[in-house]
Amino acid sequence: MAGAADSEPIPLAKPEIGPREEELVLAVLRSGRLSLGPMGERFERAFAAWLGVEDAVAVSSGTTALHLGVRALGWGAGDEVLTSPFSFVASANCLLYEGARPVFCDVDPETLDLDPAAAADAAGERTAGILPVHIFGYPAAMPALEALAARHGLGLLEDACEALGAVDAEGRRVGARGNLATFAFYANKQLTTGEGGMIVPRHGADAARLRSERNQGRAAEMGWLDHGGLGFNYRLSDLAAALGVAQLERLDAMLADRARVAALYERGLAGVEGLRTPLPARGEEVRSWFVYAVQLPEEVDRDAAIGRLAERAIAAKAYLPCIHLFPHLRELGYREGQFPVAEAASARSLALPFFPSMGESQVARVCEALAASI
Ligand SMILES: *Cc1c(COP(=O)(O)O)cnc(C)c1O
């Protein structure tokens, strides 16, 4: 007889929220300091310590972190920035906010991150920088991209919004190489504050500028209605920061759980003909598991497979669409066929349910259902 567990819906993602999160949020509520208070500073210090960097600046989202990063590098009208078409749209939009042009380059077929050789081919007169994305938590080829940046005198902004906890080819944590790097804390990320983000500055001058621009252009010593330049309201509330502090305390455990679930999937899907599972690690590189996205065999109708999984109450999603094919980027002249590796990955990739508390039987149910659906 089929038990209730066999028909229980399995969502795509699910945050881990417990008594510690409740306790710290409640403490902020009762303190009366709901923003720009001590919890925000505590979150920044704890985050920087965990990552192994000197400082980190909390902001309202990963997107606003990217926007401030673009401004810190001075990218604007007339500048071209080399970036990946296989990403979440924010990594290109942040350039458009400042009038810079995203110049897409194809991705590496194995890692799905920006291919350094393609980036080198695209570098030209107007190139001002590189914006690599550590997509699906797999570390981008930073040593090669840094060498390219050094050769051409380019700025670097790392989109690490999906990669908190990943380790790169030189054994360093993603976001801790001394480049500007951004993180995001939306509810499906490795660490969540509901909405939120963080940017790692290169030095003290960056940090001061980022803190001023997130807060309406106010420098640290300025009064409430004093403004030293153009700014934004990109602040993170202390309520959100409280969630962040609690989540950081158990980040190692949550990352280990994600790796555990990924390993269950890898075993569970090993026998499925033609299916490609994601690369967990290579050399010193280690993925921080953000989503579990497989590449379906070419002959499989993905929408039909999603429909068959839905019939069994299992969520799955086509993931991700290529950025260059969205209407506002087509307006810049981008078309199908320009980035065959990214487009092929985009056409075949399917994200399966993936969250730290996923149990063995849930993973088994997804694996069986997927095998039966393709
Ligand atoms: C989540 C994400 C962002 C943006 O983060 P938000 O907090 O949703 O604004 C940017 N880039 C990538 C690759 C992401 O996955």
| Higher per-residue confidence, 156 vs 224 | 156
Q: Is residue 195 part of a domain?
A: yes
Q: How far is C-alpha 29 from the geometric centre of its chain's CA atoms?
A: 29
pLDDT at 6: 75
Residue 32 has pLDDT above 70, yes or no: yes
CA distance 325 to 257: 35
| Residue in the structure block whose two tokens are 């380059």 | 105
Q: Are residues 282 and 219 in the same domain?
A: no
CA distance 256 to 250: 10
What is the pLDDT averaged over residues 214-230? 81
pLDDT-above-90 percentage for the chain: 94
User: Is 189 one of the catalytic residues?
Assistant: yes
Domain boundary among 203, 233, 249: 249
Strand order in the sheet with 101-104: 57-59, 197-200, 180-184, 155-159, 127-131, 80-83, 101-104
Q: How far is C-alpha 357 from the geometric centre of its chain's CA atoms?
A: 20
Whether ligand 1 lies within 6 angstroms of the CB of 90 is answered as yes
Over residues 64-86, the pLDDT tens digits come to: 999 999 999 999 999 999 999 99
Q: How confident is the model at residue 7 (pLDDT cuts 50, 70, 90)?
A: confident
Residue 153 has pLDDT above 80, yes or no: yes
Q: Are residues 242 and 272 in the same domain?
A: no
Q: Are residues 150 and 171 in the same domain?
A: yes
Strand, coil or helix: what is 83?
strand
In the beta sheet, which residues pair with residue 103? 82
What is the pLDDT averaged over residues 173-181? 98
Give the range with max mean pLDDT: 103-107, 219-223, 271-275.
Answer: 103-107
Q: Are residues 235 and 256 in the same domain?
A: no
Smallest CA separation from ligand 1 atom 14, residue: 161
The total of structural domains in the chain comes to: 2
Q: Are residues 177 and 260 in the same domain?
A: no
Residue 251 has pLDDT above 80, yes or no: yes
**Centre of ligand 1 from the C-alpha of residue 9, in Å:** 26
pLDDT at 3: 53
pLDDT at 220: 76
- Please identify, by atom number, the ligand 1 atom nearest to the C-alpha of residue 196: 7
CA distance 76 to 83: 15
Domain boundary among 249, 265, 293: 249
Q: Is residue 13 part of a domain?
A: no
Whether ligand 1 lies within 6 angstroms of the CB of 133 is answered as yes
What is the pLDDT averaged over residues 276-302? 97
Smallest CA separation from ligand 1 atom 13, residue: 88
Q: Is residue 174 part of a domain?
A: yes
Q: Are residues 163 and 282 in the same domain?
A: no
pLDDT at 1: 40
User: Can you give the pTM of this predicted structure?
Assistant: 0.97
Q: Are residues 85 and 213 in the same domain?
A: yes
pLDDT at 363: 98
Q: Are residues 222 and 362 in the same domain?
A: no
Q: How far is C-alpha 348 from the geometric centre of its chain's CA atoms?
A: 20
Q: Are residues 215 and 256 in the same domain?
A: no
- Please identify, by atom number, the ligand 1 atom nearest to the C-alpha of residue 186: 7
Whether ligand 1 lies within 6 angstroms of the CB of 240 is answered as no
- Determine which of 83-87, 110-114, 223-227 has the lowest per-residue pLDDT on average: 223-227
What is the pLDDT averaged over residues 92-121? 98
Residue type, 356: P
Q: Is residue 57 part of a domain?
A: yes
Residue 152 has pLDDT above 60, yes or no: yes
Q: Is residue 14 part of a domain?
A: no
Q: Is residue 70 part of a domain?
A: yes
Over residues 178-195, the pLDDT tens digits come to: 999 999 999 999 999 999
Q: How confident is the model at residue 5 (pLDDT cuts 50, 70, 90)?
A: low
| Domain of residue 330, CATH code | 3.90.1150.10
Whether ligand 1 lies within 6 angstroms of the CB of 127 is answered as no
Q: Are residues 330 and 350 in the same domain?
A: yes
Whether ligand 1 lies within 6 angstroms of the CB of 87 is answered as yes
**Centre of ligand 1 from the C-alpha of residue 130, in Å:** 17
Across the chain, mean pLDDT equals 96
Q: Are residues 257 and 301 in the same domain?
A: yes
> Which range marks the domain in which residue 296 is found?
251-373
Pocket mutation for ligand 1, best pick of 63, 134, 214 (most atoms within 8 Å of C-beta): 63
**Centre of ligand 1 from the C-alpha of residue 87, in Å:** 9
CA distance 145 to 132: 8
- Catalytic hit among 71, 173, 177, 189: 189
Which alpha helices (DSSP H) does 270-339 contain, by range?
Answer: 302-311, 327-330
pLDDT at 361: 97
Angle between helices 302-311 and 360-373 (to 10 degrees): 130
pLDDT-above-70 percentage for the chain: 98
Angle between helices 62-72 and 204-214 (to 10 degrees): 130
Whether ligand 1 lies within 6 angstroms of the CB of 132 is answered as no
CA distance 74 to 129: 10
| Domain of residue 216, CATH code | 3.40.640.10
Q: Is residue 179 part of a domain?
A: yes
Q: Is residue 3 part of a domain?
A: no
Q: Are residues 304 and 322 in the same domain?
A: yes
Whether ligand 1 lies within 6 angstroms of the CB of 63 is answered as yes
**Centre of ligand 1 from the C-alpha of residue 365, in Å:** 29
Residue 309 has pLDDT above 50, yes or no: yes
Domain boundary among 249, 283, 317: 249
User: Is the C-alpha dihedral spanning 168, 115, 90, 79 positive or negative?
Assistant: positive
**Centre of ligand 1 from the C-alpha of residue 5, in Å:** 33
pLDDT at 364: 97
Residues whose CB is less than 8 angstroms from the CB of residue 199 and which lie 6 or more positions away in sequence, other chains included: 56, 57, 59, 65, 68, 69, 180, 181, 182, 183, 210
Contact 269, 367 (CB under 8 A): yes
